[in-house]
Structure 1
Amino acid sequence: MSIPKSLYLCVKLMPLMQALHLPVMVRYNCKISSAKGKIRLNAPIRPMMMTVGFESVGIFDKKYERSIVQIDGELELGSGKVMIGQGGRLCIMEGANLRFKGKFENSAMIEIICKNNISIGNNVLTSWDILMMDTDFHQTINTCDGIRNSAEGKITIGDNVWIGARCVVLKNTDIPAGCVVGANTTVNKNFTEENCLLVGYPAEVKKHNVTRANENE
């Protein structure tokens, strides 16, 4: 049931011979709000390099919490599989670049809003109810000197990062490799230390020398 909509999306965003491999698969009830951009593959093409709306968590209802996809900018896919869970919303605006360097997993209900640049490393795991956006949409202005602050920034997430449930990742954020972001944390600045626990509003380093254990350890 998901093949026709997935094929339509791929044909809109990729050369035909690549699109026929169905490198991106969206669930049949996924809403494609716009597809004016392009998908770039930085790895050998294969089916289902990215899936949207299939992963599930028992507390969410697939029937009513459907996914939404808007790709008007550029989406880059690397060598690992990208899984956007049920109810995931993906918005890449015109001129923006969202890059997945490798494997990425989301369980459900992630919202990624990219108006400028978001780069996500390999083997990144995210829980449910995640908001990630590199823009405030509206500028602020200093009332003393009249200087405007840019509404857009960048987000960089390193390899082997784990982001817990209901976290918010905002513009001008750098989460180094191996970091764990605790549930309900808001990250809005650059960190430099790898393998640490980030917790709070706004996020602060709470523990050092800690990272996510591999499943086979």
Structure 2
Amino acid sequence: MRSPILYLKNFVVVGVKKIRYMSKFSAGLIQTFDKLHVEIHGNGKIKLGSFNQNRGNLYLVSDGGELIIGNHCFFNTGTCITATEQIIIGDNCKIGNNVVIVDHDHNFKNDDGKEFISSKIEIGHGTWIGANVTILRGTKIGPNAVIGAGSVVKGIVPEGGKVIQKRV
């Protein structure tokens, strides 16, 4: 069990974020975050379920998009999640250190005047994501999948599927 002081600190920190961002930020009961960084721009929204926790820096950015995180999720040090469209993370997910989840690419051609190209990301409940993983736009990971350390994921991973990055 973590220190009661940490629970009190998180109650205050989450409360301040709720006041700062108003209806754009919501969080369920009891969060145990250590160094939570939140940014919400434009019409963006961040919704956290209950009983989530992290170890070290966790960056949650909504740049006009919607970020939804379920209940009982764990984020290790250095996780960064940025939504310009929509990212949904199911309940009971475990996410390793230095994971990057982004639902957009920069539109380097800029032939249509848009700065970003985006598409939704869905991560099913019970998914394990290893250290140093990057999850790109348009990815759908089914429930109870395992994403091995160092993988780059784009596309569909079926329920219970495994993605293993081979290194030589």
Q: TM-score, normalised by structure 2?
A: 0.78
Aligned amino acid, residue 21 of structure 2: L
Aligned amino acid, residue 47 of structure 2: E
Aligned-partner SS, 2:125 = coil
1:200 deviates by 2.8
Q: Does 1:108 align with 2:108?
A: no
Distance 1:99 1:4, change over 3 A: closer
Q: Which has the larger radius of gyration?
A: 1
Aligned amino acid, residue 82 of structure 1: N
How far, CA to CA, are the matches of 1:69 and 1:12 in structure 2? 11
Instruction: Report matched runs for 1:106-185 at 5 Å.
Output: 106-140=75-109, 151-185=117-151
Instruction: Report matched runs for 1:79-98 at 5 Å.
Output: 80-94=50-64, 96-98=65-67
Distance 1:117 1:110, change over 3 A: same
1:67 deviates by 4.8
Q: Does 1:188 align with 2:157?
A: no
How far, CA to CA, are the matches of 1:106 and 1:113 in structure 2? 14
1:76 deviates by 1.7
Aligned amino acid, residue 8 of structure 1: V
1:141 deviates by 7.1
Query: Where does the alignment leave 5 or more consecutive residues of structure 2 unmatched?
Result: none
Aligned-partner SS, 1:52 = coil
**% identity of equivalent residues:** 21
Q: RMSD over aligned Cα, in angstroms?
A: 2.7
Q: TM-score, normalised by structure 1?
A: 0.62
Distance 1:4 1:157, change over 3 A: closer
